[in-house]
Structures are given as structure tokens and as C-alpha cells.
Amino acid sequence: TLLDVVVNNDLNIEGFGACEGTVTCSTCHVILKPEDFERLPEEASDEERDMLDLAYSLTETSRLGCQIT
Ligand code: FES
């Protein structure tokens, strides 16, 4: 997942991925370019959508980084 990329590369993004991918936070919220959003292999699950609803500055191309593979 995108969260794995952040963790495995020691990227210092403060607070990113607080729940470690258990879809109980929205700290991994990312806003994608429309062309990148369209290329994702899977749509957001109901669980992801529920958590995205709590994300700050939600957009049409928002996703949770821990759910992007
Ligand atoms: Fe918490 Fe993605 S890391 S929802």
C-alpha cells in the first residue's frame, strides 16, 4: 500500500498512518490528481468511504493511503 511505501522508506510525514492501516483514522488521507485517481485498480470500500467522510478537506479524488495498492 501507499502507507507501506511511506513506512518502508522512513519518510517523515508527521502523523501519517496513525492506525497502521486498520482504517480507524484518516491521517493517511491523500488527494490524487484526477488522472492518477482513475488509474487505481479498486474503488474505495464502504469502510474506507466512512473514514474518508471524517477526513479534513475531502475531495472527489481523495483516498486513504493505507488502502491504495
Ligand atoms: Fe489509518 Fe489509513 S492509516 S486509515
- What pLDDT tens digit does each residue of the chain (69 aa) get? 999 999 999 999 999 999 999 999 999 999 999 999 999 999 999 999 999 999 999 999 999 999 999
Choose which residue among 46, 53, 64 to substitute to test ligand 1 binding: the one with the highest number of ligand atoms within 8 A of its C-beta: 64
Atom 3, ligand 1: which residue's CA is nearest?
A: 17
Q: What is this structure's pTM?
A: 0.93
Q: Which of 5, 26, 50 to mutate for ligand 1's pocket (most ligand atoms within 8 Å of CB)?
A: 26
Interface TM-score (ipTM) > 0.90: yes
Largest CA distance in the chain: 30
